[in-house]
A and B are shown apart, each in its own frame.
Chain A
Amino acid sequence: MMNEAYNLEYKSLKKEGDSEIMILNMGPQHPSTHGVLRLELKVNGEIIEEVIPHIGYLHRCFEKHAEACNYQQVIPYVDRMDYLSSMYNDFGYAIAVEKLLGIEIPERVEYIRIIMGEFQRIASHLVAIGTFGLDVGSFTPFLYCFRDREKILTLFEKTCGARLLYNYIWPGGVSHDLYPEFKNDALNFLKEFKRNLKDLEILLVENKIFIERTAGIGVLPENIAINYAASGPMIRGSGIPYDIRKIEPYGIYDRFEFNIPVGEGMMGKKGDCWDRFYVRYLEILESIKIIEQALDSLPDGNVFEKLPKKIKPKKGIVYSRVESPRGELGFFIISDGSDKPFRIKVRAPSFVNLSILPEIAKGCFIADLVAILGSIDIVLGEVDR
């Protein structure tokens, strides 16, 4: 409707020696909440000709630190990379090290890991949706999302003592068992949460002004998505059902039934900001399904029996990947037979997704750039490590 004029092919207005290009700086400190990222914009009036992201403000040399620590001492560092979904970082690292060690873990641990991982996915998507609404200008859904996220963080706090950086999933097991009323608390929360999601639907998903602001903006075509190795809701919003939980199942994800939501261009073009946002919203519903199935069939057992005291894998190389809330999180670990890793390299999903920004932000307004950046959902801790 109102956005039809801007779906045309973008032709640059810049001629040779055109002095209308102004360089604008969206500096490291943002009014929006995405962290320390510097965007250098070349604008012509209000239309953006080029975006150059400058990263590295949060670089903490995680990979060099990891070469000086044991395998177990690396786990708190791994938490702090993507600080909004740190259960999943732990999960990915634990699976990578277990492949190197070649150990089998107990059933109960597998179920606990999946339950915690999916709760973390819900919490992370709530932040993504809330801050996306805030970028576009609606203040209230942000607080509703955070209210529900608080309840998830309370569940985590009762289990392992921390609200944001858990240090919970260790290679070989978990650090604490679930407390006795966990199942009841979780089921009560899910029941209430499903009711609250209806509010969110009216406020954001079906809100006409929100759709005007986000539909048709920042379209990511399929071939570009694959060439740039997008992952997570970025690539699923463009219509490609690429989800590592179905392609290469890790843990016991193959025992659960869930769908992969894919963007279909319902409100604009396929692969625009609204599609990515809607994929995240639907993934919350799918995660609720997985958690309910897992809580149903949670077996008993001892979670500490396979926890190794000293991790000293044999020489080898492994690259294992998991589907974190932001995309494909890959751990590439080289072990040389000692108890310290020789090299850990992390393939962070936000790092790769952010490199697509210069491609999809050409020809949009400055106000749209804020919306596109919100829909990519980056966490600077991961981008810079």
Chain B
Amino acid sequence: MMTLNIAFVSKLLIIPIFFGIFVSLFALFAVYAERKISARVQNRIGPNRVGPYGLLQTIADILKLIQKEAPYPFGSDKIFFNLAPILSFAASFVIFSVLPFNYYLCGLDLNLGLIFIIAIGGFNVISILFAGWSSNNKYSLLGSMRSASQMISYEIPIALIFAAVFIAFNSLNTIDITKAQENYFFNWNIFGGDNHLLKRILIIPFSAISVIILFIAFLAEANRTPFDIPEAESELVAGFHTEYSGIKFSFFFLAEYSNMFIAAALISIIFLGGFSSPFGYIGSLLNSNFIINIEQFFWFTIKSLSIVFLQMMVRWTLPRLRADQLMNLCWKYLIPYSLVAVFYALIISYI
């Protein structure tokens, strides 16, 4: 039971504020990073005028978006039109409460952490449908239907892989999964987990398959290329966010980047050791809890950011899949492979 003391109340206040600041800073950084990375991949420079090395470019963009007129399309349903971007961002933000950044900054110690994530992920779908429907635009509606079907289909491999993870690693609680991979980097789940040698060797292929399926499915959840049919400019049908401008549009954008971070964070929690450091903590030599917390935050962010980098590189390298090829990939290839992963995890768990 929770007791109302100073520690609990301070945690209740500090953590949402901290996560709010973190998400905003991350979105700023991610937009800038995407523009710079895409520019370097394409052999050009990217923004370098606003501020040193173009660092203030995102702030300039936000100022521009704030002062834009955001009209309502003719005949739109005002309640849902306003609700959709808020819901989209709120859903992504709520998931942050189960991501552990260090020993202190974990919002909720839920034993059902991963299932909570799948449940809240459903709100993404609803918000897209709200956006498409309330725009009163035939093409937005078509785009949002396509996007909704894509996101629902790709939640299935995610759920199956989470079930496999539960069977193999014995826990759905994100904090427990992370704590089981502490100590050194060869205890990370991608290298076999903290087990005896035979089980380690058997877990490695399971981790490999699961990481790949999870990465692809999360790309589709966040509507990134090669699955970005809803946002494609050179296709005929416009996306679900055509009628949005100004701050409402930037909320959708913010939600997309938070989804990217959540995907990266989940992959790093389950397979790459979460907030644990590969070598052991400097803080434990100095016997200071505070320094350990800072180090853990640092390692968690580094791991997640490298996977975000990988997602961005994939976007700027691969072409786009057609809508039916996308569904083909999910139903005919990812779901059978995730079922195979589940059965394999069952076998491993007996050893």
Contact = CB atoms under 8 A, between A and B. Distances in A.
* Any A–B CB pair closer than 8 Å: yes
Interface of A: 2, 24, 26, 31-32, 46, 133-140, 143-144, 147, 203, 207, 209-210, 212-213, 365-368, 370
A137 B225 CA distance: 8
A370 B236 CA distance: 9
Given A2-B328, A134-B234, A367 B319 contact: no
A169 B41 CA distance: 38
16 contacts: A31-B233, A137-B226, A137-B321, A138-B318, A139-B38, A140-B317, A144-B42, A207-B319, A209-B318, A212-B325, A213-B320, A365-B323, A366-B237, A367-B322, A367-B323, A370-B235
A308 B324 CA distance: 61
B68 interface: no
Given A137-B234, A366-B236, A213 B41 contact: no
B235 A367 contact: yes
Nearest to B322: A367
Contacts of A147: 43
A365 B236 CA distance: 11
B234 A370 contact: yes
Given A24-B236, A140-B41, 18 more contacts: A26-B236, A32-B234, A134-B234, A136-B319, A136-B320, A137-B228, A137-B232, A138-B317, A138-B318, A139-B38, A139-B42, A144-B42, A209-B226, A365-B323, A367-B236, A367-B322, A368-B322, A370-B236
Given A140-B41, A143-B44, A370-B235, A365 B324 contact: yes
B323 A207 contact: no
| A207, A212, A213, A367: most-surrounded residue (chain B CB, <10 A) | A367
B93 interface: no
Contacts of A203: 317
- Majority secondary structure of chain A interface residues (helix, strand, loop or mixed): helix
Nearest to A25: B236
A138 B319 contact: yes
Contacts of A138: 317-320
Contact of A213 (B43, B44, B316, B322): B322
Interface string B211-230: 00000000000000110100
B314 to A, nearest CB: 11
A352 B325 CA distance: 32
Contacts of B228: 137
Contacts of B317: 138, 140, 203
Contacts of A207: 318-319
Contact of A2 (B318, B323, B325): B325
Contacts of A133: 319
Contact of B321 (A32, A144, A209): A209
- Chain B interface category by residue count: 20 to 34
Contacts of A24: 236
Interface in B284-327: 316-325
Among A134, A209, A370, the most chain B Cβ lie within 10 Å of the Cβ of: A209
Contacts of B235: 31, 366-367, 370
Nearest to B323: A367
A203 B316 CA distance: 11
A24 B139 CA distance: 11
B321 A212 contact: yes
Interface of B: 38, 41-44, 225-226, 228, 232-237, 316-325, 328
A26 B322 CA distance: 18
A147 B325 CA distance: 32
B57 to A, nearest CB: 19
Q: What are the 3 closest A-B residue pairs judged by CB atoms, nearest first? A: A137-B320, A138-B319, A143-B42
A137 B319 contact: yes
B234 A31 contact: yes
A140 B42 contact: yes
A11 B195 CA distance: 60
Given A140-B41, A143-B43, A147-B43, A210 B319 contact: yes
A367 B15 CA distance: 46
A175 B110 CA distance: 79
A26 B236 CA distance: 7
Nearest to B315: A139
A133 B235 CA distance: 13
Contacts of B316: 139-140
Contacts of B318: 137-138, 207, 209
A135 B234 contact: yes
Contacts of B320: 136-138, 209, 213
Nearest to B225: A137
Contacts of B237: 366
B322 A365 contact: yes
A140 B44 CA distance: 11
A212 B43 CA distance: 27
Nearest to A204: B319
B234 A144 contact: no
A144 B328 CA distance: 31
B125 to A, nearest CB: 21
Residue of B44, B316, B318 most packed against chain A (CB within 10 A)? B318
A209 B319 contact: yes
A143 B42 CA distance: 6
B59 to A, nearest CB: 25
A203 B314 CA distance: 12
Nearest to B232: A137
A34 to B, nearest CB: 11
A212 B226 CA distance: 12
A365 B316 CA distance: 25
Contacts of B234: 31-32, 134-135, 137, 370
Contacts of B236: 24, 26, 366-367, 370
Nearest to A202: B317
Contacts of A139: 38, 42, 316
A334 B263 CA distance: 69
A139 B323 CA distance: 18
Contacts of A366: 235-237
A213 B42 contact: no
A135 B235 CA distance: 8
B147 to A, nearest CB: 15
Contacts of B43: 143-144, 147
A24 B138 CA distance: 11
Most chain B CB within a 10 A radius of its CB, from A139, A203, A207: A139
